[in-house]
Amino acid sequence: MKQETLLSIKNLHTRFHIYEGVVTAVDGINLDVYRGETLGVVGESGCGKSVTALSILRLLASPPAEIQGEILFDGENLLDMNLGEIRQIRGNSISMIFQEPMTSLNPVLTIGEQISEAIKLHRGLTQQEAWAKAVEMLQMVQIPSPEMRAQEYPHQLSGGMRQRAMIAMALSCRPRLLLADEPTTALDVTIQAQIVDLMGRLKKEFETSIMLITHNLGLIAEMAKRVVVMYAGKVVEEALVEDLFAEPLHPYTQGLLGSIPWMGRKMKAGRKQLQEIPGMVPSLLEMPEGCRFHPRCPRMMDICRKEEPPLVQKDGRRVLCWLWK
Amino acid sequence: MTEPTQTWNTQRSADSQLKRNWAKLRRNKAALFGSMLILAYFITALMAPIIFPGNPSAPNLMKALERPSAAHPLGKDELGRSILGRVIYGSRVSLLIAIGVVAVGLLVGVPLGLISGYYGGKVDFGIQRVTDTLLAFPGFLLALALVSVLGVGLKNTIISVGISMVPIYIRLVRGCALSVREQTYVEAAKAVGTRNRTILFRHILPNVMIPITIQTSLGMGTAILFAAGLGFLGIGVQPPTPEWGAMLGSGRAYLFHAPHVATFPGIAIFLAVLGFNLAGDGLRDVLDPRFRL
């Protein structure tokens, strides 16, 4: 089954030049997002998920950031574009939802003003037309009495409603790719479910591809088709969601899945029901030699300490580990 | 069914916010007093010809230095002009200066501060070094130096005092812009493709309006004081225009045998400056208790 590639990241490096040295937040990752699919990107805090998303939209200030590699969107390299061209992409072809609905809306502008701003910018509509479109978008994300809500300020809306408004803003120009950076993390569980449901519905309606960045594997299982696991700036495993959950190949992925409580999971003899991954993500300034995961890996071998692991292709999956060589 | 309830709630919350602020302002006696002084000052300036129908610059040497009486409540100055009339008309001049100075400060200082804080880097460095240089001089000395370059008169007084205030606005706005630009909503605005100019004036500026408003009130008081200082030294607004500082300056010569000539313009300056400072402090307490200049 050959799918059309919408976004293709090739050998992306994002480095930050700071006082203490050079921090490589994203270290040569490769990934593709196909048309109309939801790609999940998982990993712990600080593994480079958000930086990848910000690199795509070139939202990192440079200096200190330095981005290398290729980010092909519809065949065009976003990293070669000038500021005017990338601005045409932002919000129009690729848009983004942020983690904190509390702080990602401007407190001094009404909801309608903020949504219609993007519409005016990319669609060249008049104020009235853009406002009408903004109200329509609020309706679409199921905000009750949208005409009135459009005239309100963010503090008058609940957290869930604000995230809906953010989604309305992000989807207002019918982007082809939506970068959702922890879209439900700051919301309580029932609201999370509503937002997930809403995103799934809108994805179908708008035929938008979604790159879902999260550390919540449950969310990935529910929404994504394929999943990419990142660790310390590298992609360590890529697989279809079912395959990943059925048989995680990388010890890090195994650890991640082992650390989620499952209802009705049988306890194996001699094993704790919940496992943890010992240690912490290494500091980006002091990366371990060889495999970056080796100090925390339960199945560490000698070679892991010395040489960087190869990318192994296995049944259409990719895994960055010596175990499968 | 929820709609009417919601409207009512929203309306009520907006109302109660205003009410709360008003209650806070009313509890703050000093601020209330300051606001009343400003109000009186504005009324005097706007209605000067009604309050004092005569010509405040018409001399009458026969009555020079006459003491306060029922006919001339504040007495007469060295040229026999009514001090009451000159103090009343002087409020127009000082109000014009105060507004002009603050306008210069805002128009130059706010955009530069926004640009400096938002863009950072070399632009910020450049603007801040110039600001440092200007701030190295005490404000009044800077205004004095500028007047000596530009020359005397109303317009030059406004420009000089205005420029001496610009660095204060630059610093204030830059500091606020620095913290606002790190907010997620600024990043979100960039992520939908908003231009830097739009972000600057539509997203960041409204978020720094409170400190600007407070500084504007305080700045008007300072402007009146500086302009009066220049007038006192004889290099501000020139006679025969009734200007409080110049009146104070010319009254100085008669301080011993006709103290009323210098006293009343001095009181006028004092009350106007006090009003703006009290009101500015009160505004700060009401609008943002965390904010301290």
Q: What is the pLDDT of residues A57-73, one digit of tens each?
A: 998 887 788 899 999 99
CB spacing of B193 vs A156 below 8 angstroms: no
Alpha-carbon distances, residue A294 vs A83, A190, A236, A297, B118 (angstroms): 41, 38, 12, 5, 42
CB spacing of B184 vs A100 below 8 angstroms: yes
CB spacing of A105 vs B202 below 8 angstroms: no
Across chain B, which has 293 residues, the per-10-residue mean pLDDT values are 42 65 80 92 92 83 82 83 91 94 96 94 94 92 93 93 94 93 89 90 90 91 93 88 91 89 93 93 76 44
pLDDT confidence of residue B145: 93
Q: Is the pLDDT of residue A286 over 90?
A: no
pLDDT confidence of residue B77: 84
Structure tokens at A108: 């001094």
Q: What 3-state class would DSSP assign to A195?
A: helix
Residues 6+ apart with CB under 8 A from B86: B56, B57, B77, B242, B247, B265
Q: Which of B16, B180, B192, B203 to mutate to test the interface with A (most CBs of A within 10 A)?
A: B192
Three-class SS of A208-221: CEEEEEECCHHHHH
Reported confidence tier of residue A268, pLDDT bands at 50, 70, 90: low
pLDDT in tens, B81-134: 888 999 999 999 999 999 999 999 999 999 999 999 999 889 999 999 999 999
pLDDT-above-70 percentage for chain A? 96
pLDDT confidence of residue A313: 86
Phi, psi of A237 (to 5 degrees): -155, 145
pLDDT confidence of residue A121: 86
Structure tokens at A172: 């207002």
pLDDT confidence of residue B8: 43
Q: Which residues of B fall within a CB distance of 8 Å from A105?
A: 185, 188
Residue A214 bridge partners (DSSP): A42
pLDDT confidence of residue B3: 40
Question: For chain A, what is the mean pLDDT?
Answer: 86
CB spacing of A106 vs B207 below 8 angstroms: yes
A165-183 average pLDDT score:
89
Count of CA atoms in the C-beta half-sphere (13 A) of A12:
31
pLDDT confidence of residue A303: 86
Distance, in Å, from the CA atom of A177 to the CA atom of A170, rounded to the nearest integer, reads 10
Residue with tokens 């907010």: B183
pLDDT confidence of residue A273: 67
CB spacing of B191 vs A87 below 8 angstroms: no
CB spacing of B193 vs A98 below 8 angstroms: no
Q: Taking the CA atoms of B193, B198, B204 and B207 in sequence, report the sign of the dihedral they define.
A: negative
Strand pairing of A226-231 and A234-240? antiparallel
Q: What 3-state class would DSSP assign to B190?
A: helix
Instruction: Work out how many CB contacts closer than 8 A connect A with B.
Output: 80
A107-112 average pLDDT score:
90
CB spacing of A98 vs B206 below 8 angstroms: no
Q: Which residues of A fall within a CB distance of 8 Å from B203?
A: 106, 109
The two most distant CA atoms of chain B are separated, in Å, by 81
A245-251 average pLDDT score:
88
Question: For chain B, what is the mean pLDDT?
Answer: 87
pLDDT confidence of residue B5: 40
Q: Which residue has the higher pLDDT, A270 or A312?
A: A312
Q: Which run of H or E residues covers position B282?
A: helix B260-287
Nearest Cα of chain A lies from the Cα of B191 at a distance, in angstroms, of: 5
Q: Which residues of B fall within a CB distance of 8 Å from A156?
A: 10, 13
Q: Which run of H or E residues covers position B29?
A: helix B29-46
pLDDT confidence of residue B14: 58
Structure tokens at B31: 């601020």
Q: Which residues of A fall within a CB distance of 8 Å from B188?
A: 96, 98, 104-105, 166, 169
Kindly state the DSSP code that residue A107 receives in the 8-state scheme.
T
Reported confidence tier of residue A2, pLDDT bands at 50, 70, 90: low
pLDDT confidence of residue A40: 93
> What is the separation, in whole angstroms, between the first and last Cα of chain B?
47
Structure tokens at B257: 């045998």
Distance, in Å, from the CA atom of B213 to the CA atom of A82, rounded to the nearest integer, reads 38
Residue with tokens 């395959």: A243
